[in-house]
Amino acid sequence: MDSIVQHFRKEEQPFIENALGWTREVEDTYAPKLTGFLDPREQFIVETIVNNAGLAFDAYGGFRKPERQRLLIYPDYYTPQPDDYQVALFSINYPAKFVTLEHRDILGSLMSLGIDRSKFGDIRLQADAAQFAVVDELKDYLIANFNSIGKSKVRIEQLDFSALLIESMETWTEQLYTVSSLRLDAVVSAIMNSPRQKAVSLIQNDKVKVNHTVRSQQSFELNELDSLSVRGAGRFKILSIEGRTRKDKIRLLIGVLE
């Protein structure tokens, strides 16, 4: 297991320890373990550790093609049931004629209730409709307490799984890039087709996020399934590291949000 852990970032160590603890719990109790909602990078880490431990896993986020999902870790002889994933879906009723909601508005209001980000899944918006996923155990609390977004009064309503759910409208294309290293400045420079110094300036001015967190160090090293957002340039995902060229440069397959 140490040989796997060393391939991840030092700052990911606390999460890795949690993931190792989840797998040990399943091995010791022979019972399934359900995680909170994980982003794609966290899912990748858990999947790597679970596969190495000889266990099985499955993921569910409520919506079709979700980004954030709960992972169920279980012995290979266990058959998961729909109720195992404990995901609740809600719609938000708000005065759409007078208010325009954005993803950050909804997420900020949910987290202002003092609940950890891992308790919430995807937030979907379309025209005057808004929906979100949450861990099942919080549904009663949210019904009682989630009644405003900013200055606007809202009312949430739980959806059953036959309801019409908002589809992700995101369209990603795949592009192959060649970079000198996995440093953040090198990758940003490549995807923007700009000089390295411009990439450094963007990073140092807090205009680049990795996995939704601002990164101000140009030497920060990226890895597979990291997501990037560059203010003014869009969103990107490192889908896979495709190997090296004859000149020892790294080939990256990157998803670009259109």
User: How many domains are there within the chain?
Assistant: 3
Sign of the torsion angle spanned by Cα atoms 196, 200, 206, 209: positive
Q: Indicate if 184 and 239 belong to the same structural domain.
A: yes
- Pick the last residue of a domain from 100, 131, 159: 159
Quickly state the pLDDT bin for 171 (edges 50, 70, 90). Answer: confident
Residue 27 and residue 65 in one domain = yes
In-domain check, residue 166: no
**In a domain? residue 164:** no
With 0.85 as the threshold, say if the pTM is over it: no
Q: Are residues 116 and 135 in the same domain?
A: yes
Which range has highest mean pLDDT (111-115, 133-137, 165-169)?
A: 133-137
* 185-225 tens-digit pLDDT: 999 999 999 999 999 999 999 999 998 889 999 999 998 88
Q: What is the DSSP string of 141-166?
A: HHHHH--EETTEE-EEEEEPTTS-PP
Contact between 111 and 72 under an 8 Å Cβ cutoff? The reply is no
155 shares a domain with 98: yes
Range of the domain at 114: 87-159
The Cβ of residue 61 has, within 10 Å, a number of other Cβ atoms equal to: 21
